[in-house]
């Protein structure tokens, strides 16, 4: 994989997080940026890997939804995307969709349709505008899973920080909508937003936890030599680490949703 050429902020290497990966027998990295007062700021486990780019897989649904809304291939979260009638591996995909269900169940065919309507030229332009990874939508389709688009864990964090602050080159309304679609869990004083992704070899979990005192961003990727058996480990590791720094106080069982 290509190494990220973009510079990153000074990061604290958290070698003490190694057991969280070792216990589940996975190779990977996690980057956390903690903006709560009195915290360590940017923290990384496996800093070399954190700068390497991998396929974003379905974490790309976060910016891709912004592209689709901006280019008006879909109006809002209420518009229906008609199912083409083709049976797929995930039964949740075999029906009409809207943005909320397409994000929740990581429905790839919906975003393939968006990509076709947006067009390759405009996709590349959007990627350059938001400086997303290597900004390359070429190669096999879908380009965010099987093609040449790649992004590092550090770059994921930079993108998420801009989205959190409504600083991307899209309307504030559309950025707020995408953030609403990302909600996974919530308590009386926190909100967890995120998106998972898997390209068959590497899986991701990225997002942030909102607290009144500030957000805590996270981006994890791990290798998946055991296929789908490894996928639940991404959420377990991330939540365990977030619990360890006081950013969450949740059980570590993976939540329902698509594997993508």
What DSSP letter does each residue of the chain carry, written as one string?
-PBP-S-----EE-GGGHHHHHTTT--EEEEEEE-STTS-EEEEESHHHHTB-B--GGGGHHHHHHHHHHTTSS-STTS-B---S---SSGGGSS-B-HHHHHHTT-HHHHHHHHHHH-HHHHHHHHHHHT-TT----BSSSTTTTBS--B-HHHHHHHHHHHHTT-SSS-HHHHHHHHHHTEEEE-SSEEEEEEEEE-SSEEEEEEEEEETTEEEEEEEEEE-TTGGGGTHHHHHHHHHHHHHTTS-----PPPSS---
189: Cβ contacts below 8 Å, ≥ 6 apart: 211, 212
Q: What is the CB neighbour count within 10 angstroms for residue 124?
A: 16
Among residues 11, 58, 106, 152, which one is catalytic?
58
CA-to-CA distance for 41 and 30, rounded, in angstroms? 14
Catalytic residue check, 101: no
Which residues are designated catalytic?
58
């Amino acid at each position: 994989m290509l190494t990220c050429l973009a510079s990153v902020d000074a990061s604290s290497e958290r070698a003490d997080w190694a057991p969280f990966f070792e216990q589940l027998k996975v190779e990977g990295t996690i980057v956390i940026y903690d903006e709560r007062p009195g915290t360590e700021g940017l923290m990384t486990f496996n800093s070399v890997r954190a700068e390497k780019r991998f396929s974003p897989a379905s974490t790309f649904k976060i910016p891709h939804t912004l592209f689709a809304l901006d280019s008006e291939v879909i109006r809002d979260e209420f518009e229906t995307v008609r199912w083409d009638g083709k049976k797929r591996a995930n039964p949740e995909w075999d029906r009409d969709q809207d943005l909320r269900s397409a994000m929740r169940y990581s429905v790839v065919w919906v975003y393939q349709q968006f990509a076709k309507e947006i067009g390759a030229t405009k996709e590349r332009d959007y990627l350059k505008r938001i400086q997303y990874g290597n900004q390359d939508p070429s190669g096999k389709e879908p380009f965010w899973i099987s093609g040449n688009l790649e992004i590092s864990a550090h770059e994921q964090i930079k993108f998420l920080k801009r989205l959190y602050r409504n600083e991307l080159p899209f309307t504030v309304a559309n950025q707020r909508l995408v953030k609403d679609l990302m909600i996974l869990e919530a308590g009386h004083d926190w909100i967890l937003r995120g998106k998972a992704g898997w390209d068959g070899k590497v899986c991701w979990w990225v997002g942030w936890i909102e607290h009144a005192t500030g957000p805590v961003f996270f981006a994890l990727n791990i290798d998946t030599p055991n296929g789908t058996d490894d996928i639940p480990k991404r959420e377990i590791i991330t939540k365990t680490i977030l619990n360890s720094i006081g950013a969450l106080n949740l059980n570590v069982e993976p939540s329902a949703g698509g594997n993508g």
